Each structure stands twice: as C-alpha cells, then as structure tokens.
Structure 1
Amino acid sequence: MRQLSFEVCPEAAPLSSAAPVRSVPKGSMTEVIVSEGSALQPFQLLPVLALCSDQKRWLMWLSPSQNLNKQWLAKAGISDSPVLHLNTQVATQFDLCIKALRSGKSHLIVEWSGELAADTRQLLRRVAEENGSHLFIVRGE
C-alpha cells in the first residue's frame, strides 16, 4: 500500500512590515464514490476533517443512515472534537448542506442520496470555497 504525505505550507511572509490582511480561508469539496460493500465508511473521514484547518469548527456528518457512536470517535482520536450527526432525507439534504456551509461554522461529510446534478455540485463547491468549509460528499455508484 502506498502512503501519501500531506504537508501544510505556511503563508508566505509579507513583503512589507504592515500586518497581513486576513481573509476567510478557502474551502474545498471532495467527492468520494464508493461501491456497495466498500471498506470505506463515511465516518472514517471525520479525522480528515479535524485536520483540515486549525480553526475551531464543528465537524458535521449528514447521513440518512447510522448514528455516530462514541467508540468510533474515540478510535478516530476525535472524541473531544465538537461533532454533530444529522439524519437527512433526499428532500432535505441539499438545503441542510447549503445552510451549514453558508454559516461558515463547520466542515461536513455528506452521505449523498440520489443523483448529484452538475449544477448542484458546482453550487456546493462554490459555497464551500467561499465560506472556508471543507466538504466531503460520499455517494454510491
């Protein structure tokens, strides 16, 4: 198995002595497509979200299925992090996701049910980037 190394590059030093202008950090969207019976479970991405930024943000898991378990969080090393699980349905997942992203207070994992249209995907990516949130969408084939 190949191991990937991730590094966080510090911001470049400003050229002037003036204090650097702080802006909302750029967010991102990652889409993971899993096949039925995949070894990857969406809750396994929670530690990745915890490492996404040094900001104090909620980690949200939006899913139509299983609830979070304290043992999972402890095994993932994030039992002290603020984690929120919300059950969603196809009819509410988009609105809930947009509201969470626009608040700029959380990073999200969404177990997406149903189709994900190109325009919906573009809007989710844009809102995540604008609000400094990291969004993982996990969906089946």
Structure 2
Amino acid sequence: NPELTLATTRERDGRGEPALRTVTLGLRIPFGAGDRQAAAAANAHAEALDLQTQLSMERDRIAGERDAAHAQVGAARAQLTAAERRARLAAESRGFFDKSFRLGETDLPTRLRIEGEAVEAQRQEARSRIDLAAAISHWRQSLGLLFE
C-alpha cells in the first residue's frame, strides 16, 4: 500500500531571528519488494503448479475417454457387420424353409422357428445400427464436436 507522510519543522539560524517553518510531504510507493508480496507470489506459484497438475490429469482423462470412445465405435461397427450377415443368412434360410414348407418337406414348427430366428436377426441388426450411431455420437462428443 502506498504511504503518504507529512512533516513540519521549525528552524532558527541564529538568536533573535524568526523561526522558519517548513512542511515536508513524502510519498512512498512499494513496488513489490516487501515480504507480503513475496508470500503472495509464492502462493500464486504454488497454485499455478497445482492447476497445471490438474490440467494435465484432466487432459489425460479426456484422451482416455476419446480413445475408449473410438474403440467402442470400432467394436460397434464389427458388431453391425456380424448382425447384417446374420440377418442376411436368416432371410435366405427363411426363403429356403418357406419354399420347403410350401412343397410339404418341412413341418410348421420348424418353419415358425426359422421365421422367429429371422425376425430376431432383423431386430438385432436394427439394434446394432442404433448402437453404432450412439457410439459415433459419443466419440464425436469426446472430440468436442457438436451434434449433427
């Protein structure tokens, strides 16, 4: 904090002479050389180091989330590929068993079982598409991108 000082003095040059009065005005401005300033600087430096450590840890965490989200996208794509293949094969099987049923070579319970498997394969394919879209959305968010 700046300090303002005011002093008055009285002087006489010799006996019998009138006294001279002087007023002295002083202004002291500290430029950060005090102990309080050094302590505040040390505290600020310690806080800066702490924040840098937190920033580094947060960056590592975000990078880990981003990598995990990217891996999840890859897994979801592989799962979708498998589900599409299963649905395609189930549809082919359904066609073969439908034709076989119409020709009287397959019984009704077998045809219904194959039909149920085909429907389940289609449902799983649709679910895999949704999971892939969710994984891509999560990955984009981890990259800091906005929704499309």
Normalised to the residue count of structure 2, the TM-score between the two structures is 0.20
The answer to which structure has the higher strand fraction is 1
Instruction: Name which structure has the greater RCO, CA cutoff 8 Å, separation 6+.
Output: 1
Which of the pair has more CA radius of gyration?
2
The two structures have a TM-score, normalised by structure 1, of 0.21
Say which structure is richer in helix.
Answer: 2
